[in-house]
Structure 1
Amino acid sequence: MHFRHILIILISSILFCACTTQKDLAYFENINDSQSGTIQTADYQIKIMPQDELMIVVSSEVPSASAQFNTIMATPVTGKDFTDITSTSIGNTQTTSSATPKYLTYTVSKKGDIDFPVLGKIHVEGMTIEELKNYLKSQIEKTVKNPQVFVSLVNFKVKVIGEVKEPQTVNVTTEKFSIIDALSACGDLTEYGKRDNVIIMREQPDGTMGYMRLNLHDTSLFSSPYYYLQQNDIVYVEPNSIKQDNSKYNQNNSFKLSTISTIVSAASVIASLVIALTVK
């Protein structure tokens, strides 16, 4: 039975390598043989949600006029999250301090608000980054000439686990980040990953966890509402049957080897005691 199990595993592995290279490992199989065409895609923009962390920096031709709209800490404080924004990255912002200015971030409350300097409480939940930027600019330009507003989501992270070459938490630096981007950042799927059953898990507004299964063989995934990922999404690539069978076999084999090793060790101890008693 032991030999038969090994033989089945070997045959299955050979068949897997021979038969799945073109079919199971391929992406977008339903693209026809034409040289060009179009594929419908999802129209999606990241929406700001509670617990998001926003970097907001305001600059203008007169730094002293826009300074009141920034929360700056020149000296880093332990335990605080902030990001360096230099004058070249935000326009004409200048500082009279020799230290690089540190711009503190704004955490969106559970009610979807941020407390912004001068303007006070602003409800930002459901806004896109561009919408918030435009809103702030419209309010600030009432007192500041030609203000420039920089808005960035700094805690956009996606977890990728399962059968990928480098499972990891991906720090996203762009507003549009797709399932393809996430898998590419992790070195693509392994040969044991199910390409027709990639699961995206996403927290819902009511606190529950929703999920969607995506088929990488089918171009319809481009129009899925889960094609573009959101903050804190989890991407899980399920192992195929070959990987699962190999895993079960290895676990059983390890258990057997451990049991045999224990028995051999116990027998050795008993034999040593018998010899010692016999000598006496």
Structure 2
Amino acid sequence: MNFKKYIIAGALGLAVFSCAPRQEITYMKDIENIVLDNSIKNSRSTFQPGDQLIITVTAKDMDVVKPFNQSYSSGTTTTQYTLPSSNNIPQQIPVSGSTYIVDTDGNITFPQIGTVSTKGENIETLRSKLIDLISAYVKNPIVDLKLTNFKISVLGEVNKPGQYVIPDGGTTLLGALGLAGDATPFGIRTNVLIVRNVDGQITKERVDLTSAQFINSPYYYLKQNDVIYVQPNANREKSARVDPNTGLYISVASVIASLVIGVLALTKN
């Protein structure tokens, strides 16, 4: 009877533990409890001085929009994803169209319209602004706008550190880490540093990749020239302080010691 009681108790215990939720070691394990409304506000990066925009205007009658494509350049090529620490050849995407550089005041000079401010604008809002402006001259214009020199840098304990060019015009923190091959086992995922320069103002933020809370942060969606640094853990820092030539020094010292012992032995004889 006692044996049967043990079997029943064990079965009940197994059932209870099997029904208990399993906690996984993963990024954003509490994402189901996070409201993502705030992330929508930061989903698109605003333009910064030095951004290179390729803008093409089309319409049903192409002759009508020719004046809005005066600076047309067909030889522009951009790199999709730069892989500085890989042997892979970066994919090249040809991009053609009128090229504009955002000046230090945040403006571009557009044909027939003149100065257009890009301050506080992203790809969607600037496209809408240009459509409204061009509509005064052209019926139902179509504006294609690309940001071709969007760059971010991923440094520290990642598998492929370096600078990445993203012509899509934006990416997320997780997307950038994905391009860099993710953090190494020695990287501290709970304290990732992001350095940002907006209009000359340097800001820093540290985020915990294991919590979904950082999705609501303005640092989840990256901006032009953001730098991501994954800090090494204590084991990596300790190993980095060891001279890489230590093994060689020990070998040389062993050889010298052996020679000295040999010479002493011969001298005694």
Does TM, normalized by the shorter one, top 0.5?
A: yes
Residue 209 and residue 37 in structure 1: after superposition, are their counterparts in 2 closer, same or farther (change >3 A)?
Answer: closer
For residue 155 of structure 2, the aligned residue among 156, 161, 176 is 161
| CA distance in 2: counterparts of 1:68 and 1:254, whole angstroms | 65
| CA distance in 2: counterparts of 1:190 and 1:236, whole angstroms | 12
1:254 aligns with 2:248: no
Spell out the pairing of 1:1-280 with structure 2 (5 A cutoff).
26-30=26-30, 38-40=34-36, 41-42=38-39, 43-44=41-42, 45-70=44-69, 71-73=71-73, 76=75, 82-83=76-77, 102-205=96-199, 207-249=200-242, 251=243, 254-255=245-246, 257-258=248-249, 261=252
User: TM-score when scaled to structure 1?
Assistant: 0.69
How far residue 176 of structure 1 moved from its aligned partner, in angstroms, is: 4.7
Give the corresponding residue for 1:13. none
Structure 2: unaligned runs, 5 residues or longer? 1-21, 79-93, 260-269
| CA distance in 1: counterparts of 2:234 and 2:23, whole angstroms | 15
Task: Give SS of 1:194's match.
Answer: coil
| CA distance in 2: counterparts of 1:166 and 1:52, whole angstroms | 25
Can you list the C-alpha shifts for 1:101-131, whole angstroms capped at 9, x where unaligned?
9424100110111111111121222212122
Which amino acid is 1:224 matched to? S
Residue 146 and residue 176 in structure 1: after superposition, are their counterparts in 2 closer, same or farther (change >3 A)?
Answer: same
Can you list the C-alpha shifts for 1:192-249, whole angstroms capped at 9, x where unaligned?
00011100000132x2421100011221111111111000100110100011112223
How far residue 191 of structure 1 moved from its aligned partner, in angstroms, is: 0.4
Which amino acid is 1:61 matched to? K
Cα contact 2:100–2:108 (8 A) shared by 1: yes
| CA distance in 2: counterparts of 1:224 and 1:73, whole angstroms | 38
| CA distance in 2: counterparts of 1:196 and 1:217, whole angstroms | 6
| CA distance in 2: counterparts of 1:229 and 1:105, whole angstroms | 23
User: TM-score when scaled to structure 2?
Assistant: 0.71
Cα contact 1:198–1:237 (8 A) shared by 2: yes
How far residue 24 of structure 1 moved from its aligned partner, in angstroms, is: 11
How far residue 171 of structure 1 moved from its aligned partner, in angstroms, is: 2.1
Cα contact 1:183–1:189 (8 A) shared by 2: yes
When the two structures are aligned, how many residues end up with a matched partner? 220
Which amino acid is 1:27 matched to? Y
How far residue 264 of structure 1 moved from its aligned partner, in angstroms, is: 6.8
Which amino acid is 2:216 matched to? S
Can you list the C-alpha shifts for 1:57-94, whole angstroms capped at 9, x where unaligned?
001111111011012245x4xxxxx359xxxxxxxxxx
Cα contact 1:178–1:227 (8 A) shared by 2: yes
| CA distance in 1: counterparts of 2:253 and 2:114, whole angstroms | 70
Which amino acid is 2:62 matched to? P
Can you list the C-alpha shifts for 1:120-155, whole angstroms capped at 9, x where unaligned?
121222212122111111121222122111111111
Cα contact 1:50–1:125 (8 A) shared by 2: no
RMSD: 3.1
Cα contact 2:56–2:98 (8 A) shared by 1: no
Task: Give SS of 1:235's match.
Answer: strand
Residue 121 and residue 142 in structure 1: after superposition, are their counterparts in 2 closer, same or farther (change >3 A)?
Answer: same
